[in-house]
Amino acid sequence: AQTVTQSQPEMSVQEAETVTLSCTYDTSESDYYLFWYKQPPSRQMILVIRQEAYKQQNATENRFSVNFQKAAKSFSLKISDSQLGDAAMYFCAYRSLFQGGSEKLVFGKGTKLTVNP
């Protein structure tokens, strides 16, 4: 079974600074997706960024980028130029791409990010 580990329960960053959230995962599959979801206080989880494991290039979405290390099974999220609106719970998640594999998302425990003005 796949597992996702987020070792930082809480992180804080100064506005306009850069912060990196860590995520490691365990799987025996070679094809999968990895995601970072953001859950603001309004509760709805929204997708921040996704990475297909077969792509070597790290995904980027504006101020958000990932450092995907497939061999190390590491998938960290970097937030540049942090804004007050980035304050939220961030979840790392795994989903199999294997045709006969599980279709569910497996989540880490989350990292609560605080942005200080």
Partner 1 sequence: EPEVTQTPSHQVTQMGQEVILRCVPISNHLYFYWYRQILGQKVEFLVSFYNNEISEKSEIFDDQFSVERPDGSNFTLKIRSTKLEDSAMYFCASSPGHTGELFFGEGSRLTVL
Q: Supply the minimum distance, in Å, between the C-beta of residue 78 and partner 1.
A: 19
Q: Does residue 55 bind partner 1 (CB under 8 A)?
A: no
Buried/exposed 18-43: b ≥16 CB within 10 Å, e otherwise: ebebbbbbebeeeebebbbbbeeeee
Measured from the Cβ of residue 91, the count of other Cβ atoms closer than 10 Å reads: 22
Q: Does residue 102 bind partner 1 (CB under 8 A)?
A: yes
Q: Does residue 64 bind partner 1 (CB under 8 A)?
A: no
Q: Which of 28, 41, 44, 62 binds partner 1 (CB under 8 A)?
A: 44
Q: Which of 46, 54, 61, 84 binds partner 1 (CB under 8 A)?
A: 46
**CA of 97: how far to CAs of 27, 84, 90, in Å?**
12, 34, 22
Q: Which is nearer to partner 1, 41 or 85 (CB)?
A: 41
- Separation of alpha carbons 7 and 94, rounded Å: 16
Give residues in contact with partner 1 (CB under 8 A).
33, 35, 37, 42-47, 50, 91, 95-97, 102-110
